Structure 1
Amino acid sequence: MRAHEAGALHGDLGSRGPAWLRTPVDVNALLPQLWPRNVARAADGALAVAGLGVREIAAEFGTPVYVLDEDDLRSRCREFRAAFPTEDVYYAGKAFLCRAVVRMIAEEGMFLDVCTGGELATALSAGMPPERIGFHGNNKSVTELTRALDAGVGRIIVDSFTEIERLTALARERGVRPAVLIRVTVGVEAHTHEFIATAHEDQKFGFSLAGGAAIAAALRIIDEGVLELRGLHSHIGSQIFDTSGFEVSARRVLALQAQIRDARGVELPELDLGGGFGIAYTTQDDPSAPADLAKRLRKIVDAECAAEKLAVPHLSIEPGRAIVGPAVFTLYEVGTVKSVLLGTDGDGTDARRAYVSVDGGMSDNIRTALYDASYSATVASRESTARPILARVVGKHCESGDIVVKDEFLPADVQPGDLVAVPGTGAYCRSMASNYNHVPRPPVVAVREGRARLIVRRETEEDLLALDVG
């Protein structure tokens, strides 16, 4: 069994045994599927993004630091817009949001989904057209709904009967008729981690299709006539590679649309199929191109609409992490390296793992601990001719589960002071970052055409103490 060209292991060590650890691998090569498109090794062996070396980035901004390849982000927006030219494509605010990114996606013609008042405030402060915002969330407060109405948010995705009551009362008070979608729980088993699967029945989101809540919600909104019911929304989860789940979801939600038509003579004009398309964190991941996704989803919707004798509704999709996830890598500095004995091979050879401790960890990337997520890594500040060793990149926090990269081949001469880069960290890393152990959160730097600019500054100890009023 051969590891991939980037030098990452990404396998099940236990099933292969220590002998496999001696598999030859190039620890200097980069697998393009895993890295931002403008990342390469420069002539000096160090990584560079859009022509700017990581050593220069580290010297100016410190480590750890999230590095955004701006042209990569923009190109992924354009690819989805080209693949879905007549549909609305929503950028996932929860994946990563700051004002600079809001401006980037707005300039590229994207829509934006938000799920809290803070995300909405960020979007509006950066000038995102409110009519291109969709507001999600299973427990929107009166304050959040009021802000959405006052701002003129384009779509509110209602998630409960309580929310329908709140929103109806607020709309009556203001004399407005907001456009809403109903989030439908369609009972589809998505092939992903249970914490990010969102369409099975036993979870907090949406109106149950099987239990009759979805049809009841639709009829209530139509009969009251205060809210404008534009369509239905379905989201089966995140980090999805298999489109078969979308086929089942579309069939069930369009059957509901036909029920609504038959009950009230209303054919809803919109359908949001969600998305949550997967990206490559390791060689085990095989994401589809946006054009392929568009072809498959249109075929599914066309077939189901024909079966139900429905006009094809205006579609929306939510690619999720697929836009920002691959456009970012995190840059760390190595602090310590520790060799640990794993076992002995049949010929008496010791199998060892290097624990490479970096200056970040679970406070800047909780996904490994939270979802058992896998990542790749490379020594970024230089090339090496040393043999590959099995390594685990770990953080500085007081937790044994503080792991950034579980299994990776790094050069045997990895040492304190080296820079290590971890790709695929654009989604749910900075947005889920914490101050655990009172560690300030890292900055975000956008690089374009050889120049870096700070778009989210590094937190300081003064920032932490400013909230401590005791």
Structure 2
Amino acid sequence: MNEQITDQQINSAGHLMIGGCDAVELAHQYGTPLVVYDVQQIRRQIRAFKHVFEENNVEYAVSYASKAFAAIAMYQVVAAEGGHTDVVSGGELYTAIKAGFPMANVSFHGNNKSREELEMAIDHHVGTIMIDNFHEIELLTDVLEERDVKVNVMLRITPGISAHTNKYIQTGQVDSKFGFDLQSGQADEALAKVLANPRMQMKGLHAHIGSQIFELAGFKGVAKKLVEVAAHWQEKFNYQASVINVGGGFGIRYVKDDTPLAPEEFVEAIIKAIKDEINKTNLMMPAIWIEPGRSIAGPAGYNLYTVGSRKAVPGLRPYVTVDGGMGDNIRPALYEAQYETVLASDPRANLVEHVRLAGKYCESGDILSQDQALPATKPGDVLAMLDTGAYGYSMASNYNRNPRPAVVFAEDGKAQVVIKRETYDDLIHLDEPYRQ
């Protein structure tokens, strides 16, 4: 029996419910592969983060890290809950603009923003530019002078803290492509340049130590480090940071062996650590910003697949193949990420075998799960993979010229398509014939 499925998520027919909708019916109505989000779960997590700050009487921003999943509908839900958002590309920014997201509550991240992206951000009055490197200071200065405007900025620093996480998603260590290094004096040099620039209004400092982190130590460490840097900047530059942004990376449960804290417990510890360190200084208490992405989108998402072929080899785990795979969820192939999968028509059915859950893509590495316990399955059964809401659709591809799936939002028993399923015509709409 899967411990992640509650009694409230099973209807009278014994089927899995997502946002009050029958998962089997969703698969039949919208086709598979299908990505489904429980919108109330998204709302609940944003509200839980906000509640922690408000209980602690701290100024804050809960800024959704939209690289986890960016869509017009997602930005609209975040905005409705009073959240901020951070974007990392012109494409994410454009989507937020089209969603009507309040631009004052947008932060623009990225380690190689183009001039065109910075121009778009400035022209649409993005709230804060997160400056990542010296080249960006020069580029942004040119844009601001050309348009004769000012903008709020923050400096991203690398605090020298390596989170206990996959090496590909560690970002806070000294040897990182992101941010200004502390030890070499880069951060001080960057601050001096920004403070000397009348078009840049310096709000504070930012760090992000990684993703899918289960331990408090890294967050406590970065909180302490950022306050130390803020105190140093006050002493050396007479600059008082109004914001300390600790990033995101709060881990979620994917499989039963994962034992993360509730995401809001990380925030509670961060607030306490910052308050404790501030009390040792003569700094004013800054606002605290967080940038959760996975912890908001991940648990709310499900991938629905239809079972197809099966390959059984004596002495080996059988392959059970579904109609999606690495094109809609590349994380297992990329990170060896693990998920749990249930039979949508009976999520508490007795588990009778361990299989390799394989995708349909022409790639030996297209395995969604190397060891998935399942009940007996047959072609046509609908499987639901849990906690797929972060970095699944956002990293989706058209490999093998397969269309990307539809995305459905389910809430209070009603479902609506928020991203249409791609068609074959969509796949070729940018192609041009070869002319000799």
What do residues 209-240 of structure 1 show as CA deviations (whole Å, max 9, x unaligned)? 11111111011111233211110001001111
Deviation at 1:301, TM superposition (A): 0.4
Stretch of structure 1 that moved more, 79-88 or 215-224? 79-88
In the alignment, is residue 381 of structure 1 matched against residue 345 of structure 2?
Answer: yes
What do residues 76-107 of structure 1 show as CA deviations (whole Å, max 9, x unaligned)? 11111112233100111100011111111100
Looking at structure 1, the residues matched to 380 and 22 of structure 2 have their Cα atoms a distance apart, in angstroms, of: 16
Instruction: Look up the match of 2:285.
Output: 312
Q: Is the 8 A contact 1:238 1:320 kept in 2?
A: no
**Other structure's SS at 1:91 match:** strand
2:110 aligns with one of 137, 141, 144:
137
Q: Give TM-score scaled by structure 1 length.
A: 0.88
Stretch of structure 1 that moved more, 162-171 or 434-443? 162-171
Displacement over 4 Å in runs of 4+: 383-387
Deviation at 1:392, TM superposition (A): 1.6
Q: Give TM-score scaled by structure 2 length.
A: 0.95
Unaligned ranges ≥5, structure 1: 7-30, 343-351
Deviation at 1:375, TM superposition (A): 0.5
**1:296 maps to amino acid:** A
1:260 aligns with one of 233, 242, 245:
233
Instruction: Look up the match of 2:276.
Output: 303
Instruction: Look up the match of 1:83.
Output: 52
Deviation at 1:393, TM superposition (A): 0.9
Q: Is the 8 A contact 1:39 1:47 kept in 2?
A: no
Looking at structure 1, the residues matched to 232 and 309 of structure 2 have their Cα atoms a distance apart, in angstroms, of: 62
**Other structure's SS at 2:329 match:** coil
What do residues 386-426 of structure 1 show as CA deviations (whole Å, max 9, x unaligned)? 65111121100111110112212111x21111111101110
Task: Please give the root-mean-square deviation of Cα atoms over the aligned residues, in Å.
Answer: 1.6
1:390 aligns with one of 346, 354, 364:
354
1:353 aligns with one of 304, 317, 322:
317
Q: Is the 8 A contact 1:187 1:201 kept in 2?
A: yes
Instruction: Look up the match of 2:373.
Output: 409
| 1:398 to 1:184, Cα distance in 2 relative to 1, 3 A | same
Deviation at 1:252, TM superposition (A): 2.2
Instruction: Look up the match of 1:158.
Output: 131
In the alignment, is residue 175 of structure 1 matched against residue 148 of structure 2?
Answer: yes
Instruction: Look up the match of 1:322.
Output: 295
Deviation at 1:51, TM superposition (A): 3.4
| 1:386 to 1:252, Cα distance in 2 relative to 1, 3 A | closer
| 1:50 to 1:230, Cα distance in 2 relative to 1, 3 A | closer
Looking at structure 2, the residues matched to 246 and 294 of structure 1 have their Cα atoms a distance apart, in angstroms, of: 9
Looking at structure 2, the residues matched to 249 and 51 of structure 1 have their Cα atoms a distance apart, in angstroms, of: 39
Instruction: Look up the match of 1:368.
Output: 332
1:228 aligns with one of 176, 194, 201:
201
Deviation at 1:50, TM superposition (A): 3.4
| 1:210 to 1:38, Cα distance in 2 relative to 1, 3 A | farther
Pairs within 5 Å for 1:17-56: 31-32=3-4, 40-56=9-25
Unaligned ranges ≥5, structure 2: none
Deviation at 1:313, TM superposition (A): 1.1
Deviation at 1:463, TM superposition (A): 0.4
Looking at structure 2, the residues matched to 121 and 464 of structure 1 have their Cα atoms a distance apart, in angstroms, of: 21
| 1:452 to 1:256, Cα distance in 2 relative to 1, 3 A | same
Q: Is the 8 A contact 2:223 2:270 kept in 1?
A: no
- How many residues are treated as equivalent by the alignment? 429
Looking at structure 1, the residues matched to 412 and 170 of structure 2 have their Cα atoms a distance apart, in angstroms, of: 38
**Other structure's SS at 1:396 match:** coil
Q: Is the 8 A contact 2:19 2:37 kept in 1?
A: no
2:390 aligns with one of 418, 427, 436:
427
